[in-house]
Structure 1
Amino acid sequence: MKKVHLFSLDFGSTTSCAMLVEAYLEKNQVTGKMYFENPCIVYKSEPVFTPVENDKVNEIKIGQYLQQWLSESRVEKEQLFSGGAIFTGLTAKKANVEQIASQVDKFIGPTIANTIDDPNLESWLAYLGNFSYSTFGDQAVLNLDIGGGTTNPAIGIGKSVLSTGCYAIGARHFQFEPGSYLLTALSESAQETLQQLNLNYQIGDTVLTGDIEKICDFYVAQLKRIKLGQSACQHLIEVPLEVKTPVDKVLLSGGVGEVYYDFLRSGELPPTTYFGDLGVDLVKAILRSNLLQHQEILPKESGRATVYGMALFNTDISGSTVFLDHHTELPLNKIPIIGSIRMDTEQSPTFLEQLKQLLMTQIKVGGALFLDWNTASVTELRGFGKLLRELINEIVSDTSFNIQKPLIFFVPDDVALTFGNYLTQWREWTFPIFIIDEVPHKDASFVNIGRKQHHVVPVSFHGIHQMRGLYA
């Protein structure tokens, strides 16, 4: 077994944190697929307030946090197998978030995949990061990841995520002078919520305690509607959650979830507007409601579910026979996913035209294409390789395309090396080609591929359209 390090960062609306997980690369003796064995959290930072000033994230302070977290975790960036940084909620909408993401890239290294404002991915990661799968058996679990800017719900059974969503329900839409209800900031969504409740407050006003309760009860009522599969208020909906099965259990994660579970453990809540927002009052509203009913489990990583999920579940591991030509250098980041196609042994005219159009698009941008089949004999693999080679040659010859970026193909089964040799005529064909096997197809816009280590490569997806039906 080979030990690897997985590093993740979560830059949320209210707080930011880092986590380092150690695991072992292992092959499942039944399926033959690679997986992370015995994951163990070896470092988790204390949460810090995300340094936001004048609608921008403070780059100097972020750099200081990155330096501190790497130092405390006692890991060098060259030792990292994979990881990710996710920017969520209100932070993802700040004017310089792209520059901050680039700063993380330079500081941590290209092994880290940056994800900005990817609500379905955030919901999926928080669900997987929040609880032990064996706890609820075949019960349908709704995880509500409540942070500063959004609530990211996900419904799942065991490891299978059935549906994800995102709503503008969070603690920092209303911001206060800590220790009081003196308003210091209002988001656009908060202003619409005030209109919905017929309340009239401006920055500089002190909100009455009764109106604070009214606002928080309104948010919790929307969460109950989401749980029941009913529509929330329109101004709160970013990605609607599909609820096709009755929810058996509800769990919380995110900053609000952490305050809630800390209260269940200790019986104490932080002081009024301790975080300068509605976090504590939202917990009080949840306690007043029957949203969670009888809570039977206290999740271990409730406040850090997303960063834990990012470390452990955002990375897929390739098979051990990837095909990489000599001209392609890793890592490869933000590669567009062109689409997917099921290989047709009969090669109908419709199939050939569809495949040709996908390849033409792929050649233009150097993207990734999923090739799928149930099973393939050696003869069929040889035929598929020849077909792709002939179509690519035809496209290049007809249109004078100059292939400079690698063509990436994801294939099922442990056949990447065999298929690559057939496609390139045992490397006599010199186009840049990269073939990766045994990575599940995800409905996403982009893929990041890390450096090859221990004969495998880490793969992560972002720009998630919907995480429905995926397994960890």
Structure 2
Amino acid sequence: MSEKILSVGLDLGTATTQLVLSELTVENIASVFTIPRVYITNKTVLYKSDILFTPISDQLLIEVDQIKDFVQREYQKAGIQKEAIQMGAVIITGETARKENAAQVLQALSGYAGDFVVATAGPDLESIIAGKGAGSHQYSQEHHTSIVNIDIGGGTSNLALFREGDLQDTACFDIGGRLIKLDPSSHRLTYIAPKLQQIIQQEGLQLELGKTVNPSDLNRLVQILTEVLEMAVGLEGTCPYYDLLVTNHALKLDQVISCVSFSGGVADAILAADQGLDDYLYGDIGILLGRSLAHSRIFKERTVIQASETIRATVVGAGSHTTDVSGSTITYIENTLPLRNIPVLKLSAEDEELESSRLAQIIKDKLHWFSLENEVQQVALALEGQRSPSFVKIEEYADAIIAGMAETLAKGLPLVVVLREDMAKVLGQSLFVRLPADYPFVCIDSVDVQNGDYIDIGNPIVAGSVLPVVVKTLVFDS
């Protein structure tokens, strides 16, 4: 039995805001005598909106009403009634996520679909989402290689490193197409980001607000940004501004990076580098940066892969739902549930092979992928687990989880552990004895999730022996 569902995806980025409407075919592939297993079997993009420059007020706040007007206008153009939309995703990314009223915007937009995945993505989570949207994780899996996706937006460049389909590392740099703005007609500079002002001062460049741009000096500045991105993917360099432009952290660069892909708005400028576009067409440095990258060492010394999406990579689809259940071997504290829209942190198979203390450190490090303004957010820790684990291995898992999730536990956030293998009961019991009395936690198994997914866990059913689980995967247009 199949059902068609209308979903919406809305991305509010530093530079642009865009919306996509999709029709998803959801089908229960289980027999009538077994537990339902529902999957997306087809998706069709019905409508792609115009791309709007994200409206920011003079007070550096997101213009909520303008965003709502944009959404309503695009619904009308698509011939869609708001009431017909059953699910969707709103993602606020880049510098926009750091605006004081970001939470207000999320709340205002949450009523524009039946069941939204609503998230404010910090730089690491944004890197993961963009890398998946660009198809880089899939490429690394299919070609058995490593690849870094560089998603270059208006304010930041988000990097995600994948190897064999597993996420290895993330990074973010304050490099983007709208860190300098100018009037397209007069070429007078109207905005220079603070970090770029530092570089301009130290380099003695003639670039000043209110003055006409000096093309040679602006090109020199763009070349510096390019050199930093070259170093970011492991190419040797000596640019003194590398550390200055790191947003949160760089890639560890402790493994070979074979391939690179580009997404984000500047990626379109890379593709159009030799088409003779006006340098200042969009009133920023996006075209200059794209052209510089197209002729950079990255293209000469790395294999550059065409991303499946560029400007729409972050989220052009919506929250799709895979419904599942976890039962019989579950462990949970009564008052923990229900939980909704919890982002998933999935460890790699290599991570799980580490001894307990090293695994704990990996969990602690990767937990910060989901930090926003250095604040740890609620996550669901996902592991493959083992089919027939020894008692010693269970104890090692439990010790690593408790130590690795220490910041989450210190904030009193529920501990959520999701396993693929059937071992949640015994692991849950081991966690139970290590947690404070009545600490909220849930440990479930037989559920398959990936980084970038979101998970809902409902109230217990069937006399408390089964938990309904909904895995929400951002559906990317490719």
Give TM-score, length-normalised by structure 2. 0.70
2:258 corresponds to which residue? 248
Deviation at 1:149, TM superposition (A): 0.2
| Structure 1 residue 22 corresponds to structure 2 residue 23 | yes
Q: Does structure 2 retain, via aligned residues, the 8 Å contact 1:174–1:183?
A: yes
Deviations 1:171-205 (A, max 9, x none): 11111112343111122122122134232533212
User: How many residue pairs align between the two structures?
Assistant: 409
Q: In structure 2, the residue corresponding to 1:138 is in which secondary structure?
A: coil
1:233 aligns with 2:236: no
Q: Write out per-residue CA displacement over residues 204-248 of structure 1, whole angstroms, 9 at most, x where no aligned residue.
A: 122211011101111111111112166861111022123333333
Aligned runs of 1:210-289 on 2, under 5 Å? 210-228=216-234, 233-238=242-247, 239-261=249-271, 263=272, 267-289=274-296
199-208 or 143-152: bigger deviation: 199-208
Q: Which secondary structure state, in structure 1, belongs to the residue aligned with residue 437 of structure 2?
A: helix
C-alpha contact (below 8 Å) 1:173/1:189 kept by paired residues: no
Q: 2:105 maps to which residue?
A: 100
The reply on whether 1:332 has 2:336 as its aligned counterpart is: no
- Map 1:434-445 to 2 at 5 A: 437-439=447-449
* Cα offset, 1:167, TM superposition: 0.4
- In structure 1, distance between residues paired with 2:293 and 2:382: 43
| Mapping for residues 61-460 of structure 1, pairs under 5 Å | 61-75=66-80, 80=85, 82-108=87-113, 110-116=115-121, 118-131=122-135, 133=138, 137-157=143-163, 159-228=165-234, 233-238=242-247, 239-261=249-271, 263=272, 267-293=274-300, 298-308=306-316, 311=318, 317-321=322-326, 332-333=340-341, 336-337=378-379, 365=412, 367-370=414-417, 372=419, 374-376=421-423, 381=425, 395=437, 407=440, 409-413=442-446, 437-439=447-449, 449=456, 457-459=470-472
Which residue does the alignment assign to 1:12?
A: 13
Helix, strand or coil at the partner of 1:274: coil
**Which stretches of structure 1, 4 residues or longer, exceed 6 Å deviation after superposition?**
322-331, 338-344, 346-352, 361-364, 383-392
Q: CA deviation at 1:279?
A: 0.7
d(CA) in 1 for partners of 2:189, 2:41: 48
Cα pair 2:415 2:442 within 8 Å, conserved: yes
CA distance 1:48–1:40, change in 2 (3 Å): same
AA matched with 2:76: S
Measure how far apart 1:36 and its partner are: 3.3
SS in 2 for 1:212: helix
Give the 3-state SS of the residue equivalent to 1:9 in structure 2: strand
Q: What is the one-letter code of the residue matched to 1:15?
A: T
Amino acid at match of 2:176: G
Q: What CA distance in whole angstroms lies between the structure 2 residues aligned with 1:279 and 1:120? A: 22
| Paired letter, 2:126 | E
Structure 1 portions without partners, runs of 5+: 397-402, 414-436, 462-472
- The TM-score, its normalising length taken from structure 1, stands at 0.71
Provide the aligned C-alpha RMSD in A.
Answer: 4.5
CA, structure 1 residues 269+302, in 2 after alignment: closer, same or farther (shift >3 Å)?
A: farther
Question: How far apart, in 1, do the equivalents of 2:397 and 2:256 lie?
Answer: 41
- Whichever residue aligns with residue 437 of structure 2, its letter is I
* Shift in Å, 1:252: 1.3
Structure 1 residue 124: deviation in Å? 1.5
CA shift, 1:286, in A, is 2.0
Verify the 8 A CA contact 2:8 2:88 in the aligned structure 1.
Answer: yes
Cα distance change, pair 316–107 in 1 and its aligned pair in 2 (3 A) = closer
How far the C-alpha of 1:110 sits from its partner, in A, is: 4.8
**Do 2:419 and 2:444's aligned partners in 1 also have CA atoms closer than 8 Å?**
yes
The answer on whether the counterparts of 2:8 and 2:22 sit within 8 Å (CA) in structure 1 is: yes
Given that 1:260 and 1:283 are in contact with CA atoms closer than 8 Å, whether structure 2 keeps it comes out as yes
Amino acid paired to 1:125: I
